[in-house]
Amino acid sequence: MVYVTGRILEEEIFCELDVSWNGYMTYNKAMSFVRNHQNWNPTDPTTSAGGDLHAEVALAIENRIGREIDWTELGMYSALHTPLDFFHGVDGFFVFRGSIVTVDVTKNPNKDHYKADLVLQYSDFSREDRDRYDFSVVAKEIAEMLVPISMGANA
């Protein structure tokens, strides 16, 4: 089994952004900065794990609302190595029909302080007997946050 560090894990899911900036950015400015500096199409992530996670979240949304969606409505944004990551603890985020869910990917099982809406623990999707991650459980959590039950089929 190959040892995976937290940073390598983040980069397997979200691509690293090659950006520079000067000084602190507020949360809203950092979110805008990330949206404007993607090096992939947020509706079709280029990393294998990112593509799998995007697909699993899209399927979970479809299950939640009871009908197919246009997968291009679901955006998955990388924030690695950006002000959103450094100052606000967000590795990436998902956007669906105006709803946003921020995520922090970690391999640290003892992490109890975080700023993102959802922490994706390595143990929640890692499978030693497989060469791919199983994102079904975390995808369902993300879908539940993106599409509250009150929206249901109205989403």
**90 lies in some domain:** yes
Q: Which of 99, 48, 111, 42 is nearest to 72 (CA)?
A: 42
Cβ atoms of residues 47 and 15 within 8 Å: yes
Q: How far is Cα of residue 84 from the mean position of the Cα atoms in its chain?
A: 13
State phi, psi for 76 to the nearest 5 degrees: -120, 115
- pLDDT tens sequence across 22-78: 999 999 999 999 999 998 999 999 888 889 899 999 999 999 999 999 999 999 999
**94 lies in some domain:** yes
**113 lies in some domain:** yes
DSSP, residue by residue, 72-107: GGEEEEE-TTSHHHHHH--SEEEEETTEEEEEEEE-
Amino acid at 29: K
**1 lies in some domain:** no
CA dist., res. 94 & res. 99, Å (int): 8
pLDDT, position 4: 45
Split into its structural domains, the chain has a count of 1
- pLDDT tens sequence across 72-114: 999 999 999 999 999 999 999 999 999 999 998 876 666 665 6
